[in-house]
Structure 1
Amino acid sequence: MSFRPRFWPTVIMLPALAILLALGSWQLDRREWKHDLIADLAVQQAEPPVPLPERIDPDALEFRRLALTGTLLHERELYWASRTLDGVNGYHVVTPLRLEDGREILLDRGWLSAADLDPAGRRASQPDGPLEVVATARRGGWGGPAWATWLRPVNDPAGNRWLWPDLEAMAGATGLLQPVTEIYAVVEPGQLPPPPQARPPEPELRDNHLQYALFWFTMAAALLVIYVLFHRRPRGGRTPE
């Protein structure tokens, strides 16, 4: 058997092989970046809570623990729909918290069943007056890729049903005067009486980059094998047309 590469198959194969190898290498780089990010988030979660700064940098504050002092505006609470807990569909209650300096930040108090949605039935879990809570800063926005905005679900401000945290629209719908729209806060468990049931903030950081890298490298190997087999022929035989 002999191996004699043909021009056009080679011209097509080499760029394709380079792209596949580049994609695999990129996923390995992303894996290292993701591991560093997870380590940084673990350090941030272990640090003591800090007051909300006057100037807010969403990138620097993401997943930082905050010490917030203010008054909950229960009459203006909002509802994130289609939130599940242990397989049960429900809502997250988002209550504006008016801070001592007059700013208002949206506070995700946690999960609530549809049966408990009426505020009149849970007055005991709506504390009045100034209070202190510890919460974790999160960025708002849809979070999907910019090229796929057509996939973004539509919020229902009139019905007070929100599917993703459009912080500016939520602040406008509830009539806040000095809203913080760069971030919102997720209250830690044990800070406020249930319901709602507060949930610990969990970074949504999937670490699937090794699997993706192996996929692209496997595709590159398969392409190379096909290329070699295509150009093998018996010695003295004709190159297939």
Structure 2
Amino acid sequence: MKFRLIPALLILVVMAVTVRLGFWQLDRAHQKEALEVNIMQFENAPAQAVSAAPVELKDIEFHRVKARGSFVADKVVYLDNRPYNDQPGFYVVMPFKLSDGGYVLVNRGWLPRNMNNRETIAPYTTPQGEIEIEGIARADASRAYELGQGGSAAHQSIRQNLDVTAYAAETGLPLQPFVIQQSSDDGDKLVRDWPAPTSGVERNYGYMFQWWGMAAAALVFGLYAARRAGKKAPAPGA
């Protein structure tokens, strides 16, 4: 059986790439599974107190936290295109001035959109004075697909996404590098039925099998093509 060099090399390259991508997805799945275990441990641990002392994101993300202070209502941001039970709405994100002088952003919860005027914010209340809140530390207040800069020309407090570092520079507030996803209820009429921080590990396993399936298909095709080429080759001395 004769092999043609260039087609054989191409098939080997395809197999090598797809096998490597499959192992990469397997590694990603293992990383996410380890993260899920950590998240479960964090959820069952006592809530950490948030203060003005800087905390690195990697040291607090997904931990239960609590903070004492007051909301800064005039710097609220509404994150658009956040559906809940198939109903369009907003996340209400607001700075929280800590008792010792620092600040942290809080994702307070979800509000439905006014279907007649998308820029009309449904009524909700903001607690006055000093209170204590609890929640989960997250890297951001959730991210949605964004074209351009997002936001609304008529209502600049409505945005598609909110970067903590950029917002700190915009407002001049010394913000912690994370957002508290509030879980405690303070009677403000906001919905806090947060989606579980699932990692989508099943997708990684699915992609892994897809890549390895492509590698197997390339191998089968290569053997089939080589067999056909061998049959068509003239016999020695013919």
TM-score in same-fold range (> 0.5): yes
Quote how far apart the aligned CAs of 1:164 are: 1.2
Letter in structure 2 aligned against 1:159: Q
Deviations 1:25-76 (A, max 9, x none): 2222222121111111111111110112513111121111111000112233
Match of 1:193 among 187, 194, 200: 187
Match of 2:222 among 219, 227, 230: 227
Contact in 1 for aligned 2:107/2:141 (Cα 8 Å): no
Quote how far apart the aligned CAs of 1:109 are: 0.7
Letter in structure 1 aligned against 2:138: R
- Aligned pair count reads 226
Alignment of 1:99-118 (within 5 A): 99-115=98-114, 118=121
Contact in 2 for aligned 1:65/1:134 (Cα 8 Å): yes
Residue of structure 1 equivalent to 2:160: 163
Between 153-162 and 73-82, report the one with greater CA deviation: 153-162
RMSD over aligned Cα, in angstroms?
2.7
Is there any run of 5+ residues in structure 2 with no aligned partner, and where? none
Quote how far apart the aligned CAs of 1:132 are: 0.7
Deviations 1:164-221 (A, max 9, x none): 1222343455x454333x1111100x43213221233631411111111110111011
Q: Distance in 1 between matches of 2:229 and 2:112?
A: 72
Contact in 2 for aligned 1:27/1:210 (Cα 8 Å): yes
Between 205-214 and 73-82, report the one with greater CA deviation: 73-82
Match of 1:42 among 40, 54, 58: 40
Provide the identity percentage.
23
Is there any run of 5+ residues in structure 1 with no aligned partner, and where? none
Residue of structure 2 equivalent to 1:73: 72
TM-aligned CA distance change 1:168 to 1:34, over 3 Å? closer
Residue of structure 2 equivalent to 1:183: 178
TM-score scaled by length of structure 2: 0.84
Quote how far apart the aligned CAs of 1:136 are: 1.0
Q: Distance in 2 between matches of 1:31 and 1:41?
A: 15
Letter in structure 1 aligned against 2:227: R
Alignment of 1:81-100 (within 5 A): 81-100=80-99
